[in-house]
Structure 1
């Protein structure tokens, strides 16, 4: 608490100083520019982003197009405090140093991801193709009351564009290096006065980025197609129904690893102090070729009825995923380490809310939530070195079930003009089970495990609007992530407990200079208990989840937009993050002393400093508008493992983009050119060292890419 008080004092001094300087600046010549308002549903009701007492960054359709956002990974370049990496087909998101590396069939993410309110438990391929969007909301900090168990670090809400009451459409085609070809299209049809339909599609294809992987085909390629259909019916002014279907297919070689032989110490252990120089062009791989084959089918049915005093909202959906892959784990010409996972996942999600209407002093909502998942998994850890067909080293065959139930409520009351008090509570009940067998070399071993947990999480806050465009807030939140269990070869089933997080945050949201300058500040402190961490066995090559005793994260954030005129816009953010495990002992001796103590180490994906900066200016040209935008992401070093070994380290780096867009006066079409990762920086997204593989192995973010995109609107 002493540390948080000091943190709060510093942030308040910064706020006061800035407010004073900004107030003086108000007397200067006022700008004709103005920053657009963005309406969000972060609190599950419509509010202006600048009136929402959450550290949130929102991007509307216009901002997404200007920034050239086409994948979820692109969000990290423009959203403060967010890191996005991939573990093969799985997206791993870190917000303010909170993440989950546990992507197996029992694991849960630490950041809630939802599309149109449908929670996505297993983000296979999610975000590879983001198209026809209304906006993206990135919420930082625990969201345990409204979003539930797996939002300990925050939430990302992807909101697709819905049917409108007017005809519109567009088509777009893009080309780029690595033989990239992308297409995108949308058509919106008002069928009747009460019925409207919107259909959209997207395809993305390019060769693999790792050009040196021959004789195998180059990995980190793209081959995806997705189509979505919305049907919206408004039979009365009070009732709105929306039916959505989406089909996505992902193929190609898939994500790949770069590998190099291990170095050993004089005692024969892996040299963890060595960091190979990873080559972004890849390294020769073995045969057979890797592949990925994923199909995702989603149906959502949403309804809203206006009861007058409140609105009854229902969000329901079903998501079916067929996922199979062949991965080369070592990333070299060795044929001894392949994994072939196959998984069939079925998700059901239901949420019902009663949300108060009107603009009175008292606002409230109550709701219930039910999520069910079943998964059939068959996974082979194989060697192609000595036999054809391959020899199966490990075999896993499981049926997994998960169920989550919750009841929640949140209310706010405006005590006096401008001062609002808020309180929320959520009760969660979680259960997961796994039956089947594993074979790790000594015959089939039956598995029949389960885990259950319950938790009540809270939210309390105060918000003060001291002017129409300025507010300060302070809030307290708790969050939790359900527990689970591991099956480690040669050991019994090892359970791990739920993790809980307690958060204090103060912040301010402001508009100055005639609405042309926006500045949002926040300071936060997290106390973690039993944080779930992934630890990889360097001999076997598999990972298990354990609980860290205690962890602490605190930091400062500043986010600004300056739009001095209608043709200029500058945006920037800076994040300072201090994240460490205060108690982390993996092995305890019989006398109670700690044998392997990682206390004091930094959390994974938690750079001490990170910056985003962007500038754009619009020029009149040939009767139209030419808008160049340059943006850069800078961050200091971070680690991809709780041990903080040298081979797990990503050094400080910067990645910059240039996006140039030309739009004629008619706005019937636009042409956009882009260069991403101008520095051609090699950035790792995972790090593994294993004596079974015999290598240090790394996943990598995309290298420098460039291309152009032509869009026609009708």
Structure 2
């Protein structure tokens, strides 16, 4: 096994990224432009990214990026956002109990409204924007790599990349027949099959690739509900399926067309959880006169029980649950035309159709056997989204110091979202289920049913100029965006109809428009061809939203029905370095973010304080009225000392703080507190040892660890979850194009809380758990 093969494995596993100031220099930089091509050929560990929509060496891009390649995706079992976050410093992810509202947080900039139709981190597949969290499925996709781009990317990507972007790059057909296949079997009924075949259909003119994947898993945490059996005897199981196809047509050397389609669907059980209900005598809550909890949440609920229910079983349990069901179709068409040696033109069309439905039954986890007395609550949360976009780009590269591009973008999204509750006797019958994501007909308490249309237009441009024969590069980019949003409150309109009134008069569509300019400037200096320092300043924007006509029974004033966009300025310095002929990478970034007009929860103007009422019962709406700051350091390094050993280490520290005047209806004044939802310290490190076993058989052993520090759950910083360290191991052999390895994830069987969802007005706190130790074997073939 040669050294470059080992290095490739390491970089894919370590995901080269972002950046420590170069401490070593060499002589002069007299002929950087002439040396660049030879230097790139000599680099043993070059990773190509398309973060800026053109192919570039990751180490030359003045942006903080983590790139996870296809080999790491296979070896490390990258299956969802949690896995990506584990190997990406500064990124965290929470999908709570049901998985419907998955929320990614970059550099500590957590969003207050987890039901928001747009997030702070934009997610893309080959540049196609996926607006809702339920649309995203990394588990089964024909991926070439995953690019995590940190800091605001509004200038390049637009579409609410407020604190960063995640772009999945799918595989293209090559010039020769390619077959990629893998089979995984493991405990808890884990079964997974992936198969991709691609290559030329007409040599030099038409190529294609098809992919199919299927994955099933039973869940690692036991459901201890008495008498439970069948599919729900464990939490966290799933069935997933995906298939895709791509055609690449090159009628001439200067013209390329691509057509891509992907379909995937998920059927997922809820995660393991327990719910503290401080309004129930079963629980011993320790704060605010027994109506709330403060401190570190325990991994076992037993220590919080009052003993009022002696029949309650131990452990984590739930009645049988309907699963989260999602389905997504992606369509992409692109055309690329090399007009001449200097100019190129590209067109990208994207379309996404998705639906999701979760119907979650809970009774505060109190033991209440089916057929007994009591009431269960059925939470319905569902949505559909239809999105399409067009993008035109004209790029210039004349081989001189100036390169650039400009373009036009337009998109439209139709989003429907329904949320409600139904109270039902625990009589053994579940009679309010539906297969319609946006039907609340069976809900006793319909809270939200809105139809929202987003129309976006944008002009963007980017230019770079090289000074000192390419040693110094200055870049400037910007995007001017107009976003029109219209919201139809279907519940308010139905109430008007029921009252014999005109819905167009009583509840007309709410509309607003936001116009934003998002610039970014970069400056990078090559100390040597392999050592670059950079600085950047950029603005990120997330569009505004709507509160509707009422919240609960409180009517909203006209100016409260919508809230404005939020923005941030992020300042960053860093470096990207290669040493020892490409055997050592040391990369780091230092950033500061000034977050203004932050969208936070506020008290409605017409709310009247009820004497004796608990403060947490105050109904909340959202307003763009907050200010916060964040600063931090990110570090990534990888080292291959010889042909047998490879090492990597990643680290991030983030410090966030609410600004003066920040408050929350449920928690009061929170200025000076840490923004909850992300660990201030995250780290991962590991090694791989390779050695020949025979002339044709090579063996390897790898071990890594991922660490998240303690993190706050609530804005008042009174509730937190304990940090955790997870170890993962794999060992196997390679024989030509075949690889076989065993793996163990969460090697020490750590029991840990992965996310927490609070409903202060109902006195409820719901921690959800990460997976326990799992093991399996993977066999892969790549031709």
Q: Same fold (TM over 0.5)?
A: yes
How many residues in Structure 1 have an aligned counterpart in Structure 2?
681
Q: 1:192 to 1:20 in 2, by over 3 A?
A: closer
Matching residue within 56, 80, 85 for 2:65: 56
Gaps of 5+ in 2: 1-18, 29-41, 279-283, 302-313, 369-374, 433-442, 499-505, 604-613
Q: Secondary structure at the match of 1:108?
A: coil
Distance 1:330 1:35 in 2: 57
Q: Distance in 1 between matches of 2:635 and 2:136?
A: 29
Pairs within 5 Å for 1:348-427? 348-385=388-425, 389=431, 392-417=444-469, 418-427=471-480
Gaps of 5+ in 1: 1-12, 24-32, 589-593
Residue of structure 2 equivalent to 1:532: 599
| Among candidates 75, 83, 90, match of residue 66 of structure 1 | 75
Alignment partner, residue 557 of structure 1: 634
1:261 aligned residue (273, 277, 285): 277
Q: In the TM superposition, what are the counterparts of 1:608-619 in structure 2 within 5 Å? A: 608-619=680-691
Moved more, 528-537 or 550-559: 528-537
Correspondence for 1:272:
293
Deviations 1:254-303, CA, capped at 9 Å, x for gaps: 4464223324468656323144423499622235x222222111111111
Shift of 1:692: 6.5
For 1:675 and 1:325, the matched residues in 2 are separated by 30
Q: Deviations over 1:303-347 (max 9, x none)?
A: 111111221111111111122221135552564332112322111
- Contact kept? 1:551, 1:581, Cα under 8 Å: yes
CA distance in 2, matches of 1:266, 1:66: 46
Equivalent residue in structure 2 for 1:77, among 60, 66, 86: 86
Residue 464 of structure 1 is aligned with which of 507, 525, 537?
525
Instruction: Give the Cα separation in 2 of the matches to 1:162 and 1:540.
Output: 53
In 2, the alpha carbon distance for the partners of 1:101 and 1:210 equals 29
Distance 2:87 2:287 in 1: 45
- Alignment partners' CA distance in 2, 1:661 and 1:101: 44
Say if 1:409 and 1:424, in contact at 8 Å, map to a contact too: yes
Counterparts of residues 598-613 of structure 1 (less than 5 Å): 598-613=670-685
State the 1:541 CA deviation.
Answer: 10
> 1:22–1:692: structure 2 CA closer, same or farther, 3 Å change rule?
farther
Q: Distance in 2 between matches of 1:108 and 1:663?
A: 43
- What is the CA–CA distance in structure 1 between the aligned matches of 2:775 and 2:619, rounded to whole Å? 37
State the match for 2:166 in structure 1: 156
Residues 140, 214 of structure 2: 8 Å contact kept: no
Structure number having the greater helix percentage: 2
Q: Which has the larger radius of gyration?
A: 2
Note the alpha carbon deviations across 1:481-517, whole angstroms, 9 max, x for none.
0011224212234432211100111111111112211
1:42 aligns with 2:28: no
Please report how far the alpha carbon of residue 71 of structure 1 lies from its aligned counterpart in structure 2 after TM superposition: 2.5
CA distance in 2, matches of 1:635, 1:587: 26
Partner SS state of residue 90, structure 1:
coil
* 711, 723, 734: which one aligns with 1:652: 723
Whole-Å separation in 2 of the counterparts to 1:253 and 1:192: 44
- Paired residue for 2:346, among 310, 313, 318? 313
Distance in 2 of aligned mates of 1:560 and 1:490: 55
TM-aligned CA deviation for residue 395 of structure 1: 4.6
How many angstroms apart in 1 are the aligned matches of 2:277 and 2:27? 57
Structure 1 match to 2:175: 165
Distance 2:724 2:542 in 1: 32
2:439 is equivalent to residue 433 of structure 1: no
1:291 lines up with 2:323 in the alignment: yes
Q: 1:77 to 1:542 in 2, by over 3 A?
A: farther
Q: Secondary structure at the match of 1:199?
A: strand
Matched, 1:247 2:263: yes
Describe the superposition over 1:436-455 as per-residue Cα deviations: whole angstroms up to 9, x where unpaired.
Answer: 33379999794732332111
Please name the residue that 2:307 is paired with: none
Q: 1:322 aligns with which of 340, 355, 360?
A: 355
Deviation at 1:37, TM superposition (A): 0.3
SS at match of 2:581: coil
Contact 1:411 1:422 in 2 (8 A): yes
Are 2:526 and 1:520 equivalent residues in the alignment?
Answer: no
> After the TM superposition, which of the residue ranges 398-407 and 376-385 deviates more from structure 2?
376-385
Return the structure number with greater strand share.
1
2:240 matched residue in structure 1: 224
In the TM superposition, 1:117-128 aligns within 5 A as 117-124=127-134, 126-128=136-138
Q: Distance in 2 between matches of 1:680 and 1:582?
A: 39
Pick one of 380, 383, 390 that aligns with 1:343: 383
Deviates more, 1:414-423 or 1:618-627: 618-627
- In 1, Cα distance between the equivalents of 2:77 and 2:178? 21
Q: Deviations over 1:463-482 (max 9, x none)?
A: 11121101111111111100
Q: CA RMSD in A?
A: 3.0
Give, in whole Å, the separation in 2 of the partners of 1:265 and 1:170.
Answer: 55
Q: Secondary structure at the match of 1:565?
A: coil
**Partner SS, residue 732 of structure 2:** strand
Tell me: CA distance 1:119–1:337, structure 2 relative to 1, closer, same or farther (3 Å).
Answer: same
TM-score between both structures, scaled by the size of structure 2? 0.81
Question: Are residues 206 and 636 of structure 1, via their aligned partners in 2, closer, same or farther at CA, if it must alter by over 3 Å?
Answer: same
With normalisation by structure 1, the TM-score equals 0.89
Q: Report the equivalent of 2:752.
A: 683
Instruction: Establish whether residue 140 from structure 1 lines up as the match of residue 150 from structure 2.
Output: yes
